[in-house]
Every structure is written in structure tokens, then in C-alpha cells.
């Protein structure tokens, strides 16, 4: 089974910008594209295979058909017929809402399928791009509610100026918001559960305030204060650098200008490669070759033992 490309789902938002379409070299004329859902098994928002023998199939249809051959034995036992990761590119022309996601346990208690843990990898963003991640001072649930009411909740949040190659891990329960000027890749659990805490008193296209989820969010927030929420790592050329290891995904970054062979023979999982910069080709152990370039995401099936990468390419690698 050869590596797969999918047709991205472009999402127009009130805060979306103009970076995604040129980044992905698309011939579209949509405005305010805030998100490109690259690989998605979210019901109602499933991506479709772009070409080859499975062209036109939805991702979850492919999981049902190929089972552990696509996702790996342990993953199929754990997640069944739903693909476990959602991959996005996000372009924020304005601040996104302050939000939080539930853990799996809290999500089930609230009648949802699962929670959401995620990570961000910053790409070529505006020079003054900022984001919020985590609490910078201790507050109680009662103080949280009061600060939402009196428009001061951002005073309690840690804010970061960001640049290309910065990385943030966002476990479920951590308050966060992507800020104006950020352009990033997002890896997350397959879940669309987001609780909006504060939305800067913005109105939608119909002149209405967007719904807040103050009560639901209060149940989810992790009030622990940490010194630093940024993920620190050492940049290296021509080798993988691990960024995040958690129960939901493991992610590394590769900055390559020499051929490299990735060995997946002991890995019981699919792999997703996300092109950040440059271009190259990948060839699997069966001789299947596909191109990869900035703005493309490729799903490598669990049956793949090795993958040779050639070209000048910076990419993320993630798997479960």
C-alpha cells in the first residue's frame, strides 16, 4: 500500500488570513481561510484520498477497509474505525478565541466522544506574532469566572512572542489561544470539542456574539501554573529531533538536505509527514515513490517498513 495524499478541507473563518492558499499552491480564490484540514477523520469533515487506487475514498472508509494495515494493530484495537489524528494548517489574521479542551475522561462525562490534546509548530509567521499558552498566575475557578465577566481573563494568561520553528505542546486542560499573525501546523486528537472561554467581544457576520462555554470550560481547566510553556529542543540538520511524546502522538521534526532512510519496521503505527519547507521525494520499501513539498501532508500506512527521503525538505513526522 503506497503513501497517500488527501484533498484538504479549507475552512473560512472570521479570523482567517491569506497565507494558506499560496502556501499550498492552490488555485482557489477564497478569502479568510483560517484552516486547512489536511488529514481528518472527524465525522462530517473527513478528507478524501486525492489520487491512486483509493482516489475518492474518505479516510474512515479506508480505515474500515484496510484496518490494521493502514493504522497499525494496536491503534486499530484502540480506536476502531475512526482515524486517531487530525492534522491542520492554521493562519490567524486576528486573535482566535481564548479556549480550552477537555480530557478524555471529562469529555465522556460531558457526553462527548473524546477530549483533545494538541501541539503547534510555528511556521513563517508575522514578525509581531503572539499566542497565549497556560496560566501565568494562580487563579481559582471563581476568579476565572469573574475575569471572563469583566474582560480581564487575558491578564492571567502567559503570552509568547513566536517565530518560525517554535513549538508548543497543549495537553487537554491548558488554556490557550493562537494570536494575530501566527501561521502554524497543528497536530491533535481526532476531536472537534472546543470550549470558547472569551472572544474579545467580537461579533460574527450576522452581528451576533459567538457562544461562550464558560461553565463547560470551568470543568476542564488545569489551574496548575508552570514557569514556561514553550517546548525547548535543539535544532539539528539531517536527523530527527523529537518534539513531543504523549499518549496521543509522538512528533519529530526533520530538516534535511541529504538523503535519509527512516526505519519503521518496529513501529506498529501509520506515520504522517507534514511538509513545512522545500520539496523532496519519498520512496518506500516496495518501490512506491511520491513527492512531498511545503504545504502537503502524506499518510504512510503501517505496513511500510522503510522510507527513503531525498531532496531539501523540512517536515514534521507524527504517529500514534
Catalytic residues: 196
Question: Can you read off the three cell numbers belonging to residue 150?
Answer: 469583566
Amino acid at each position: 500500500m503506497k503513501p497517500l495524499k488527501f484533498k484538504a478541507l479549507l475552512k473560512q473563518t472570521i479570523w482567517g488570513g491569506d497565507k494558506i492558499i499560496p502556501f499550498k499552491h492552490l488555485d482557489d480564490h477564497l478569502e479568510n481561510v483560517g484552516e486547512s484540514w489536511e488529514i481528518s477523520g472527524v465525522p462530517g469533515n473527513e478528507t478524501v484520498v486525492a489520487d491512486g487506487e483509493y482516489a475518492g475514498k474518505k479516510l474512515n472508509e479506508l480505515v474500515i477497509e484496510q484496518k490494521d494495515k493502514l493504522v497499525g494493530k494496536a491503534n486499530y484495537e484502540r480506536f476502531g474505525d475512526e482515524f486517531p489524528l487530525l492534522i491542520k494548517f492554521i493562519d490567524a489574521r486576528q486573535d482566535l478565541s481564548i479556549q480550552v479542551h477537555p480530557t478524555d475522561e471529562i469529555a465522556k462525562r460531558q457526553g462527548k466522544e473524546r477530549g483533545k490534546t494538541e501541539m503547534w509548530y510555528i511556521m513563517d509567521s508575522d514578525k509581531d506574532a503572539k499566542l497565549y499558552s497556560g496560566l501565568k498566575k494562580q487563579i481559582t475557578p471563581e476568579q476565572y469566572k469573574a475575569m471572563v465577566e469583566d474582560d480581564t481573563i487575558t491578564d492571567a494568561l502567559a503570552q509568547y512572542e513566536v517565530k518560525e520553528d517554535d513549538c508548543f505542546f497543549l495537553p487537554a486542560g491548558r488554556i490557550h489561544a493562537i494570536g494575530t499573525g501566527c501561521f502554524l501546523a497543528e497536530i491533535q486528537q481526532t476531536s472537534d470539542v472546543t470550549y470558547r472561554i472569551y472572544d474579545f467581544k467580537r461579533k460574527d457576520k450576522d452581528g451576533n456574539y459567538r457562544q461562550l462555554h464558560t461553565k463547560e470550560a470551568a470543568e476542564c481547566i488545569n489551574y496548575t501554573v508552570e514557569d514556561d510553556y514553550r517546548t525547548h529542543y535543539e535544532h539539528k540538520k539531517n536527523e530527527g529531533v523529537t518534539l513531543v511524546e504523549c499518549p496521543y502522538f509522538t512528533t519529530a521534526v526533520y530538516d534535511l538536505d541529504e538523503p535519509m532512510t527512516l526505519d519503521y519496521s518496529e513501529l506498529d503505527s501509520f506515520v504522517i509527514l507534514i511538509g513545512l519547507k522545500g520539496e523532496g521525494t519519498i520512496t518506500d520499501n516496495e518501490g512506491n515513490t511520491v513527492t512531498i513539498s511545503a504545504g502537503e501532508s502524506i499518510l504512510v500506512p503501517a505496513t511500510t517498513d522503510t522510507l527513503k527521503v531525498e531532496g531539501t525538505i523540512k517536515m514534521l513526522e507524527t504517529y500514534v
